[in-house]
């Protein structure tokens, strides 16, 4: 077998199963590859000949048959250097990874290309996700391309253009009175009865594996070097988990040496579970009441494995900070002035960068990468949809 599962907490290994993501010890199961076998065909030389898309790393993605790959051209996004910003900050090397250029306008395209491909390989017909928006529209697009039926549950204050986007791709789209975890509860209550395949964060293997390609790609674009610092807007955490996994795999493959990047999670004040957990030094405790932050991908009060995210930040020598709405606004203007259209999440990484430079945590000699995870236009005001708002699974059943 080319790949199996391995527990990030106790190290237990087992055969690959699509719905198995939690070990009996409570730890998260991630896909583990036979890297020796992967290395027979995945070489730095061979990569030069391959498509500039995420599936160039197919040996490190859990798909057996090429014909099951559902691709809309995701990945291999530009890494753009902000020379003019470097002079004013001061910083020697500042890059922006332009994830907003993915097919669905956010890096969620990567995770859903992988997840929907895996679903296809296992003959799944109906897929569902709870989302703050971009996961929903990504699932809608990839399910559409694959010919699957998609059911999407979004908080009622989800940015309207993203709701429209989900409908545009033909998904059954529902607004929920509550936050992302309330939407998730509807799915859990209905998945057996409805035969849904849950593509929520860490509910299946594909989303982390797809996001892992951001780490592989970043290292390759920097000519097989790690940057010093990666600043990433964090919600459910699959990006941090995936990229960290990518860096381990690249080292084990012998593609890259040297220190791992310091990973920084950015959240918005008013919903900052990762920041709190990192500061408290206690085990991760989700808190779902009193959430006051804006409806963005960072608003995840109860990520499925907060301890794993925190342990990665610690191991990497990284940190986490919460920034204000105003700082996010300023970040958007700053990135905009350098020609980058940034979503609130992308803008938050700029706000975090400024804090960390002011604190001296980022030094002028550090090479820094900001992840611009989506673009500004998806978050413009829009209020034309007329969807009913549901509270729970019973209401959903009545509605449909
Ligand atoms: C989902 C999302 C995030 C959070 O990413 P995770 O990997 O789930 O932590 C950040 N930015 C945008 C635009 C998103 O859609
Ligand atoms: Zn375990």
pLDDT over 90 at 8, yes or no: yes
First to last CA, the chain: 42
Assigned domain for 295 exists: yes
Please tell me the predicted confidence (pLDDT) of residue 58.
97
What total of structural domains would you count in the chain?
A: 2
Assigned domain for 159 exists: yes
Pick the residue whose CA is nearest to atom 4 on ligand 1: 235
Q: Which residue(s) pair with 263 in the sheet?
A: 230
Shared-domain flag, residues 170 and 296: no
Shared-domain flag, residues 214 and 343: yes
pLDDT over 80 at 389, yes or no: yes
Region 350-367: mean pLDDT is 98
Tokens 């910083």, residue located: 91
Please tell me the predicted confidence (pLDDT) of residue 386.
77
* 298 close to 271: Cβ distance less than 8 angstroms: yes
**Residue-wise pLDDT tens digits, 76-100:** 999 999 999 999 998 999 999 999 9
Pocket test for ligand 1, best of 345, 347, 371 (most atoms within 8 A of CB): 345
Please tell me the predicted confidence (pLDDT) of residue 281.
79
Domain that residue 293 falls in: 79-103+207-379
| Ligand 1 centroid from CA 129, angstroms | 14
Omega within 30 of 0 (cis) for the link into 90: yes
pLDDT over 80 at 188, yes or no: yes
Assigned domain for 35 exists: no
Assigned domain for 328 exists: yes
Q: Provide the CA 248 distance to its chain's centre, in angstroms.
A: 18
Pick the residue whose CA is nearest to atom 12 on ligand 1: 297
Pick the residue whose CA is nearest to atom 1 on ligand 1: 297
Supply the mean pLDDT for the chain: 96
Shared-domain flag, residues 232 and 151: no
Shared-domain flag, residues 161 and 252: no
**Shortest-distance ligand to the CA of residue 30:** 2
pLDDT over 80 at 384, yes or no: no
Per-residue CA distances from 17 to 13, 31, 61, 187 (Å): 12, 10, 14, 20
CA distance 344 to 229: 20
Q: Which residue(s) pair with 176 in the sheet?
A: 155, 390
Please tell me the predicted confidence (pLDDT) of residue 383.
73
The dihedral sign for the CA sequence 299, 302, 304, 307: positive
Region 235-241: mean pLDDT is 98
| Ligand 1 centroid from CA 40, angstroms | 33
Assigned domain for 70 exists: no
- Per residue, the 3-state secondary structure of the chain, as one string, reads CCEEEEECCCCCEECCCCCCCECCCCCEEEEEECHHHHHHHCCHHHHCCCCCCHHHHHHHCCCCCHHHCCCCCCCCCCEEECHHHHHHCCCCEEEEEEHHHCCCCECHHHHHHHHHHHHHHCCCCEEEEECCCHHHHHHHHHHHHHCCEEEEEEECCCCHHHHHHHHHCCCEEEEECCCHHHHHHHHHHHHHHHCCEECCCCCCCHHHHHHHHHHHHHHHHCCCCCCCEEEEECCCCHHHHHHHHHHHHHHHCCCCCCCCCEEEEEEECCECHHHHHHHHCCCCCCCCCCCCCCCCCCCCCCCCCHHHHHHHHHHCCCEEEEECHHHHHHHHHHHHHCCCCCCHHHHHHHHHHHHHHHCCCCCCCCEEEEEECECHHHHCCCCCCCCCEECCHHHHHHHC
Residue 193 sits at φ, ψ, to 5 deg, of -60, -40
Shared-domain flag, residues 94 and 243: yes
Assigned domain for 31 exists: no
CATH of the domain at 360: 3.40.50.1100
Percent of the chain with pLDDT over 70: 100
Pocket test for ligand 1, best of 133, 297, 301, 377 (most atoms within 8 A of CB): 297
Shared-domain flag, residues 191 and 265: no
Please tell me the predicted confidence (pLDDT) of residue 140.
98
Shared-domain flag, residues 245 and 182: no
CA distance 298 to 272: 9
Pocket test for ligand 1, best of 140, 166, 347, 373 (most atoms within 8 A of CB): 373
Closest atom of ligand 1 to 344 CA is 13
* 230 close to 264: Cβ distance less than 8 angstroms: yes
Pick the residue whose CA is nearest to atom 10 on ligand 1: 297
* 166 close to 137: Cβ distance less than 8 angstroms: yes
Shared-domain flag, residues 279 and 136: no
Shared-domain flag, residues 260 and 134: no
Per-residue CA distances from 208 to 59, 60, 109 (Å): 15, 12, 12
Assigned domain for 62 exists: no
Measuring from each residue's beta carbon to the nearest atom of ligand 1, which residues come in under 6 Å? 106, 108, 134-135, 201, 233-239, 297-298, 343, 345, 373-374
* 145 close to 115: Cβ distance less than 8 angstroms: no
Region 311-333: mean pLDDT is 98
CA distance 4 to 337: 46
Region 126-144: mean pLDDT is 98
Shared-domain flag, residues 225 and 159: no
Shared-domain flag, residues 186 and 211: no
| Both structure tokens of 390 | 């549901």
Please tell me the predicted confidence (pLDDT) of residue 30.
97
Four-point Cα dihedral 162, 167, 172, 177, nearest 10: 40
| β-pairing verdict for 389-390 and 172-176 | parallel
Region 264-274: mean pLDDT is 97
Q: Which of 191, 58, 72, 183 is nearest to 131 (CA)?
A: 183
**Shortest-distance ligand to the CA of residue 235:** 1
Shared-domain flag, residues 297 and 185: no
Q: Which residues contact 299 (CB under 8 A, 6 or more apart)?
A: 132, 179, 180, 235, 268, 271, 291, 293
């Amino acid at each position: 077998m080319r790949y199996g599962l391995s527990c990030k907490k106790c190290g237990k290994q087992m055969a690959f199963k699509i719905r198995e993501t939690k070990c009996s010890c409570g730890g998260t199961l991630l896909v583990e590859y036979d890297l020796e076998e992967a290395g027979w065909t995945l070489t730095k030389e061979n990569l030069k000949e391959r498509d500039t898309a995420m599936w160039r790393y197919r040996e490190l993605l859990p798909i057996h048959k090429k014909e099951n790959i559902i691709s809309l051209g995701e990945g291999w996004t530009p890494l753009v250097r902000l020379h003019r910003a470097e002079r004013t900050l001061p910083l020697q090397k500042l890059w922006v990874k332009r994830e907003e250029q993915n097919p669905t306008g956010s890096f969620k395209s990567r995770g859903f290309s992988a997840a929907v491909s895996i679903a296809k390989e296992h003959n799944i017909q109906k897929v569902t996700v709870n989302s703050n928006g971009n996961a929903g529209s990504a699932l809608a697009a990839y399910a559409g391309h694959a010919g699957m039926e998609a059911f999407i549950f979004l908080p009622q204050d989800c940015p309207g253009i993203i709701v429209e986007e989900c409908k545009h791709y033909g998904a059954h789209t529902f607004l929920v009175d509550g936050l992302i975890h309330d939407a998730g509860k509807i799915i859990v209550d209905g998945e057996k009865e409805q035969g849904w395949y849950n593509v929520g964060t860490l509910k299946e293997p594909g989303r982390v594996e797809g996001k892992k390609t951001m780490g592989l790609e970043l290292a390759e674009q920097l000519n097989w070097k790690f940057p010093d610092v990666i600043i990433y807007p964090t919600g459910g955490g699959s990006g941090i988990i995936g990229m960290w996994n990518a860096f381990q795999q690249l080292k084990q493959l012998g593609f890259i040496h040297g220190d791992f990047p310091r990973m920084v999670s950015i959240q918005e004040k008013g919903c900052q579970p990762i920041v709190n957990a990192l500061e408290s030094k206690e085990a991760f405790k989700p808190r779902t009441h009193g959430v006051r932050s804006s409806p963005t991908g960072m608003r995840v009060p109860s990520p499925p494995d907060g301890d794993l995210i925190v342990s990665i930040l610690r191991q990497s020598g990284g940190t986490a900070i919460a920034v204000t709405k105003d700082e996010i606004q300023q970040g958007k203007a700053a990135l905009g002035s350098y020609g980058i259209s940034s979503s609130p999440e992308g803008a938050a990484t700029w706000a975090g960068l400024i804090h960390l430079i002011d604190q001296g945590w980022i030094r002028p000699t550090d090479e820094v990468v900001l992840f611009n995870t989506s673009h500004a236009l998806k978050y413009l005001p829009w209020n034309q949809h007329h969807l009913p708002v549901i509270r729970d699974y019973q209401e959903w059943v009545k509605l449909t």
